[in-house]
Amino acid sequence: MPNRNTVSFARKNMAIEELGNLFSQKLLVWNQKENKRQMPWKGEKDPYKIWLSEIILQQTRVEQGLNYYQNFIKAFPDVHALATAPEEKVFKLWEGLGYYSRCRNLIATAKFISSDLKGVFPKEFEPILLLKGVGNYTASAIASFAYNLPYAVLDGNVFRVLSRIFDIDTPIDASKGRKHFSQLAQDILPKDKAGAHNQAIMDFGALICKPHPECKICFFNQHCRAYLHKRQESLPVKEKKVQIRDRWLNYFIVKHRHEVLIRQRTEKDIWENLFEFLLIETGKNIGVDKLLNLFGDQYGIMEFDVLSQLTKKQKLTHQLINFNILCLQIKQKKNIPGFIWMETSQLNKYAFPKTLQEFAKNI
Domain borders along the chain are: 8-234, 245-360
pLDDT at residue 147 above 50?
A: yes
Average pLDDT value for residue range 112-121: 97
Mean pLDDT of 181-210: 96
| Torsion sign, CA atoms 205, 208, 210, 216 | negative
What distance in Å separates the CA atoms of residue 174 and residue 21, rounded to the nearest whole number?
26
pLDDT(268) > 90: no
Cα pseudo-dihedral 5, 7, 11, 13, rounded to 10: 70
Pick the CATH number of 245-360 from 3.40.250.10, 3.40.47.10, 3.40.50.11540, 3.90.79.10: 3.90.79.10
Q: Give pLDDT, residue 112.
A: 98
| % the chain with pLDDT above 90 | 79
Query: Under a CB-based contact definition with an 8 Å cutoff, are residues 6 and 14 in contact?
Result: no
CATH superfamily of 8-234: Hypothetical protein; domain 2 (1.10.340.30)
Rounded distance, CA 149 to CA 152, Å? 9
Query: Which residues, listed in sequence order, are joined to residue 255 by a DSSP beta bridge?
Result: 260, 329
- Measured between alpha carbons, how far is 260 from 360 in angstroms, rounded to an integer? 10
Q: Which of 345, 315, 328 is nearest to 277 (CA)?
A: 328
Amino acid at 213: P
Strand 245-256 relative to strand 319-329, pairing: parallel
Q: How far apart are CA 236 and CA 164, in angstroms?
A: 7
* HSE of 115, CA atoms in CB hemisphere, 13 A: 9
Q: Is the pLDDT of residue 6 over 70?
A: no
| pLDDT of the residue at 203 | 95
User: What is the predicted pLDDT for the residue at 318?
Assistant: 86
Minimum mean pLDDT range among 32-41, 82-91, 187-196, 244-253: 32-41
Q: Spell 271-304 as b/e; 16+ CB within 10 A means b.
A: bebbbbbbebeeeeeeeeeebbeebeeebebeeb
Q: What is the pLDDT of residue 164?
A: 97
Give the pLDDT confidence score for residue 7 in this predicted structure.
39
Residues involved in catalysis: 54
Residue 345 has pLDDT above 60, yes or no: yes
Identify the pLDDT of residue 9.
38
**pLDDT at position 1, please?**
41
- Across 151-178, average pLDDT: 95
Tell me whether residue 88 is exposed, middle or buried, using C-beta atoms within 10 angstroms of its C-beta: 0 to 12, 13 to 18, 19 or more. middle
**pLDDT tens-digit series, residues 49-86:** 999 999 999 888 888 899 999 999 999 999 999 999 99
According to DSSP, the residues that pair with 261 across neighbouring strands are 341
